[in-house]
Amino acid sequence: MEQHSNSRRSPRSTELNKRGTAADKSTDASEKSKTASQKSATDPSHKKPTSHRAGAGAAKKAGTDLRAPLDAPTQATPEELESIRAQLHSIEMALSALFGADYRRGPESQRSRRAAANIIDHHFDQIIAEWTATIRGILDEPALLKSPHIRQSCANALIRFIENLRDRDNLDSYVYLRRHCQEGMLSRWRPSKFNVLHIALKQLILKRVRAVIKGPRMERVREAVVAAIDERRLMVSRFYIESREHALRISEEKYRTTIDHAPDPMYEIEPYTLIVQGANAAAEAMYRIVKDHEDKPLVGRRLTELGPPEDIPHIRSHVEKVVRDGSDQIRDWPEAGRYFDVNSALISFGKMQFVHMILHDVTQRRELLDELLRTERLAAAGTFAAGVAHEVNNPLGSISSLVQSLLPEETDLARRTSLHTILAQITRISTTLKDLVNFARPSPSQRGRFDLNDQVRETLRLVAYNSRFQGISFEPQLACDLKLAFADSNEIQQVLINLIFNAADASQHRSGIIRIVTENTTKSDNGGQVKKVLMRVVDNGTGIQPEHLSRVFDPFFTTKPAGAGVGLGLSLCQRIILANFGTIRIDSEIGKGTAVTICLPTYEVEAAAADAPVS
Lowest mean pLDDT among 66-75, 104-113, 304-313: 66-75
Give dist(CA 265, CA 280) in Å, integer: 6
| Count of other CB atoms within 10 angstroms of residue 181 | 25
- 21: Cβ contacts below 8 Å, ≥ 6 apart: 214, 215, 217
Q: At residue 107, what is the residue type?
A: P
**Pairwise pLDDT comparison (453 vs 98), residue with the higher score:** 453
Q: Are residues 182 and 137 in the same domain?
A: yes
pLDDT band at 118 (very low <50, low <70, confident <90, very high): very high
pLDDT per residue over 160-205, tens digit each?
899 989 988 888 888 888 887 777 666 666 777 778 888 889 999 9
Q: Note the pLDDT of residue 198.
A: 83
Burial 18-27 (b: 16+ CB within 10 A, else e): ebbbebbeee
Separation CA 124–CA 131 (nearest Å): 10
Q: Is the pLDDT of residue 596 over 60?
A: yes
pLDDT of residue 134: 86
Nearest to 302 by CA among 341, 270, 275: 275
467, amino acid identity: S
Higher pLDDT, 117 or 349: 117
Helix (H, G, I), strand (E, B) or coil at 568: coil
Quick one: the chain helix, strand, coil %, rounded to 5?
60, 15, 25
DSSP string, 120-161: HHHTHHHHHHHHHHHHHHHS-HHHHHH-TTHHHHHHHHHHHH
Q: Is residue 409 part of a domain?
A: yes
342 pLDDT tier (thresholds 50, 70, 90): very high
Domain contains 57: no
Cα(343)–Cα(339) distance, integer angstroms: 13
Q: Is residue 207 part of a domain?
A: yes
d(CA 287, CA 86): 46
Looking at residue 450, its pLDDT comes to 92
85 occurs within a structural domain: yes
Task: Identify whether residues 488 and 425 lie together within a single domain.
Answer: no
What is the spatial distance between Cα 189 and Cα 184, in angstroms, rounded to a whole number? Answer: 10
Tell me, what's the pLDDT at 609?
Answer: 58
Domain end marker among 440, 456, 490: 440
508 lies in which domain range? 448-611
* Claim to verify: residue 93 and residue 188 sit in the same structural domain: yes
% of the chain residues with pLDDT over 90: 21
Whether 25 is in a domain gets the answer no
CB 157 within 8 A of CB 173: yes
CB neighbour list of residue 375: distance below 8 Å, 6 or more residues apart? none
Measured over the CA atoms of residue 98, residue 104, residue 108 and residue 113, the dihedral's sign is positive
Do residues 324 and 311 touch, judged by C-beta distance below 8 A? Answer: no
Q: What is the pLDDT of residues 8-63, one digit of tens each?
A: 333 333 333 443 333 333 333 333 433 343 344 344 333 333 333 333 343 344 44
The domain that holds 254 is classified in CATH as: 1.10.490.10
**Closest C-alpha to 513, from 537, 539, 535, 544:** 539
CA atoms within 13 A on the CB side of 365: 9
Do residues 342 and 356 make contact, with C-beta atoms less than 8 angstroms apart? no
Q: Which residues, in sequence order, are CB contacts of 198 under 8 Å at separation 6+? A: 229, 232, 233
* 563 shares a domain with 424: no
Sheet of strand 583-589: strand arrangement:
472-477, 512-525, 528-539, 593-601, 583-589
| Domain end (from 227, 260, 293) | 260
Is the same domain home to 108 and 254?
yes
Residues 190 and 100 in one domain: yes
**What does the H/E/C string look like for 250-270?**
HHHHHHHHHHHCCCCCEEEEC
Residue 53 lies in a domain: no
Same domain (yes/no): 330, 388:
no
Q: Are residues 191 and 287 in the same domain?
A: no
**376 in the same domain as 351:** no
Please tell me the distance from the alpha carbon of residue 557 to that of residue 566, in angstroms, as a whole number: 7
Residues 307 and 252 in one domain: no
CB atoms within 10 A of CB 383: 11
Share of the chain above pLDDT 70, in %: 78
Any bridge partners for residue 348, and if so which?
353
Query: Which pLDDT band holds residue 447 (cuts at 50, 70, 90)?
Result: confident
CATH number at residue 554: 3.30.565.10
Radius of gyration of the chain (CA): 47
Mean pLDDT of 365-383: 75
Mean pLDDT for the chain?
78
> Is 11 a domain residue?
no
Banded pLDDT at 565 (limits 50, 70, 90): low
Residues 454, 576 within the same domain? yes
Q: Is the pLDDT of residue 429 over 70?
A: yes
Instruction: Quote the CA–CA distance of 299 and 311 in Å, as a whole number.
Output: 20
How distant is the alpha carbon of residue 15 from its chain centre? 74
How many structural domains is the chain composed of?
A: 4
Which pLDDT score is estimated for 19?
Answer: 37
The last residue of a domain, from among 440, 458, 490: 440
Residue 524's contacts (CB-CB under 8 Å, 6 or more residues apart) are 530
Task: Tell me the mean pLDDT in the region 603-607.
Answer: 66
Contact 429, 388 (CB under 8 A): no
CA–CA gap between residue 22 and residue 597 (Å, rounded): 111
Task: Render pLDDT for 509-560 as a digit per residue (tens, 0 to 9).
Answer: 667 889 999 999 988 766 667 889 999 999 988 888 888 887 788 777 777 6
Kindly state the greatest CA–CA separation across the chain.
162
CATH of the domain at 294: 3.30.450.20
Does residue 60 lie within any of the structural domains?
Answer: no
Whether the CA torsion 547, 516, 431, 377 is positive or negative: it is negative
Supply the CATH number for residue 378's domain.
1.10.287
Q: Answer yes or no: do 139 and 207 share one domain.
A: yes
Instruction: Give how far the C-alpha of residue 81 lies from the chain's centroid of Cα atoms, to the nearest Å.
Output: 35
SS (H, E, C) 440-507: HCCCCCCCEEECHHHHHHHHHHHHCCCHHHCCEEEEEECCCCCCCEEECHHHHHHHHHHHHHHHHHHC
Strands 472-477 and 512-525 turn out to be parallel
Q: What is the pLDDT of residue 59?
A: 39
Q: How far is residue 360's CA from residue 499's CA, in Å, rounded to a whole number?
A: 38
Strands, DSSP E only, in 296-370? 327-335, 338-349, 352-361
Which of helix, strand or coil describes residue 398? helix
Quote the CA–CA distance of 197 and 202 in Å, as a whole number.
9
Exposure pattern of 141-152 as b/e (b: 16+ CB <10 Å)?
eebeeebeebee
What is the DSSP annotation of 514-536? EEEEEEEEEEEETTEEEEEEEEE
- Contact in structure between 460 and 474 (CB atoms under 8 Å): yes
Stretch 402-418: mean pLDDT: 83
- Strands, DSSP E only, in 273-337? 276-279, 327-335
Residue 380, pLDDT above cutoff 80: no
- The most confident of the ranges 183-187, 419-423, 598-602 is 598-602
